[in-house]
Amino acid sequence: MSKRILFLISDTGGGHRSSAQAITEAIHFLHPNKYETVIEDVWKNHTPHPFREIPRAYRWVVGPGLPVWKLMWHTMSQPALQRRILEDVKYLVKDDMQAYFRTMRPDMVVSVHPLLNHIGLSCLRDIGYTVPFATVITDLFTFHPTWVDPRVDHCIVPTEAARVQAIELGMAPEKIAVYGQPVSIKFTQPVKDKMTLRNSLGLDAQRPAILLVGGGEGSGPLVAIARQIAQRAPGTQLLVVAGRNHSLRQELETASWAQTPHVHIYGFVDNMPDLMHACDLIVTKAGPGTISEALIAHLPIILFDFIPGQETGNVDYVERNGVGVLAQSPQEIARIVASWTRPGTNKLAQFRANAERLARPRASLLIAEDLCHIVEHGIGLSRVATGQSTSRHTGAANQANSYPNIESVREDA
C-alpha cells in the first residue's frame, strides 16, 4: 500500500492550502504513484461549532474586524496565555479531530498552519500515534510564536532569519531545515525569453510591463491602483489579474482608462510564471507565496497591503533585502512605477539582482524529498540546519535534477 502523508491546513487565507498543494505536487512529480497525499482543512471539517466557522470568519477578521485580529495576535503571543488557550481549545475539539486521525491512519503528518502544530500533534500523540510530525512555516522573515512547537519531529523554514527565530522560540537546531517558501513547481520549469513571452501574450515588446495582482480572490484596491498607474505612468503597459473576482474583472474591463491596447485584464490564470517573466515589476499584497514567486522571476516588488502581525515580517523581508518597497496609496504606487520605469534609471536592475540572489526556485522539490525520506527512513538522520546541503540532501537534489523539465534548477539549495 502507498504510504499516506496528511497535510493539516485551514483555509484562513489561501497561503496555507497553496503551500501544501505545492509540496504535494512536488512529491508526485518526484515519486509518481508512490505516495498518497491528503490536504485537509481540519478546522472546517473536523471540529465542532463554533470552531468550524473559523475559516469562514477569517476574511472579516482581517478586514473590518482587524482590531479583533490584532488583539488575538498579541494575546496568543504571550506564552502563558498561549498554552492555556491551546489546551482549552484542544479539549473542545479533540474528539472530532482524533476520530479523523483514526480514520485516516496517516504514515506522516505535516502541519502547514500555526495552530495545528500544537493541537494536531497533541491529539495525534494522545491516541498513541507516533508517526513523524513535521511543520512547514510559510512566513518569510518573522512569524507568530504559535508556529513553533518544540515537540515536532521536523521543522522546515523558508529563510535563515526564520530559522533563528524558531531556535529562539525553543526549536532544537538539529530539527530545522532551511529550504525556502514552497511554490508550484511550474516556477522551476525553463521559461522562454522575455521578448518571446511578450509576443505570445500580445504585449508590446518595448514598453515596461507592470503586473498587478490581488491573489486568487482578487482582493484589494486593484481598480484604484490600476487607474492611477494607467494615468500617471502612460509609457508603461499594465497587466491586471482579477483572480476569481468576476465583478472586479468586469469593472476593470469596462473602465474608460482601460480601453487601450496597453491595458490587459485577466481573470484567474494558470500561467502566472509566464506573466511574471514577461513583466518588469509586480504590484501585489504581502503574501509570502507571491513574494517568493516574484523573486524566482527576478521581479522588483511594490507591496500595496499586508495583514498586521501575520505579514509584517514579509514587508520587512522585501524592504531589508532591497527587492521592493511598501506603498499603500494608489497615487504613491503610481508615482513609484513612473519613477522606476523612467528611461535612464537603473533602479529596476538593482532590484532584479537582489531578487535573483534571494530566489529559491527548488524549495518545493527539496521539501518534498525531505518529507519522503522521513516517511521511508524515520527521524534522526542528518538534515539541513543552515541552508547548506548535507550529503543526503545533496543526493536528493541530484536525484530531483534527473527528472525532465527541471534543468533550470540544477544548482544546490
Domain limits of the chain?
3-181+361-409, 189-358
Q: What angle do CA 157, 130, 362 make, to 5 degrees?
A: 25
> What share of the chain has pLDDT > 70, as a percent?
90
What is the per-residue pLDDT for 68?
84
CATH topology identical between 3-181+361-409 and 189-358: yes
- What CATH number labels 189-358? 3.40.50.2000
- CA–CA distance, 181 with 160 (Å, rounded to integer): 12
pLDDT tens string 176-187: 999 999 999 999
Average pLDDT score over residue span 101-120: 94
Q: What is the DSSP string of 349-412?
A: HHHHHHHHHH--TTHHHHHHHHHHHHHHH-S-S---SSSS--HHHHHHHHHHHTSTT-GGG-S-
- Does the structural domain 3-181+361-409 have CATH classification 3.40.50.720? no
What would the DSSP string read from start to end of 16-61?
Answer: HHHHHHHHHHHHHHHSTTTEEEEEEEHHHHSS-TTGGGHHHHHHHH
Compute the average pLDDT of residues 49-64.
79
Say if CB 89 and CB 122 are below 8 A apart.
Answer: no
Whole-angstrom Cα distance, residue 342 to residue 111?
45
Residue 408 clears pLDDT 70, i.e. is over it: no
pLDDT the model gives residue 98: 96
pLDDT bucket at 141, cuts 50 / 70 / 90: confident
Of the candidate ranges 33-47, 158-172, 283-297, 385-399, the one whose mean pLDDT is the lowest:
385-399
Which residues contact residue 335 at a Cβ distance below 8 angstroms, ignoring those fewer than 6 apart? 232
Whole-model pTM over 0.85: yes
Interstrand relation of 209-213 and 133-136 (parallel, antiparallel or unpaired)? unpaired
Q: What type of residue is 194?
A: K
Burial 367-385 (b: 16+ CB within 10 A, else e): bbbbbbbbbeeeeeeebbb
pLDDT, tens only, 348-394: 999 999 999 999 999 999 999 999 999 999 875 434 433 333 333 33
Instruction: Tell me the C-alpha distance between 297 and 287, whole Å.
Output: 16
Give the chain's mean pLDDT.
87
- For 240-259, write each residue's pLDDT tens digit: 999 888 899 999 999 999 99
As a whole number, mean pLDDT of residues 187-202 equals 91
More confident site: 404 or 373? 373
pLDDT at position 55 is 75
Closest-CA residue to 373 (of 353, 390, 361): 390
Give tens-digit pLDDT for 80-107: 898 899 999 999 999 999 999 999 999 9
Distance between CA atoms of residues 133 and 113, nearest Å: 13
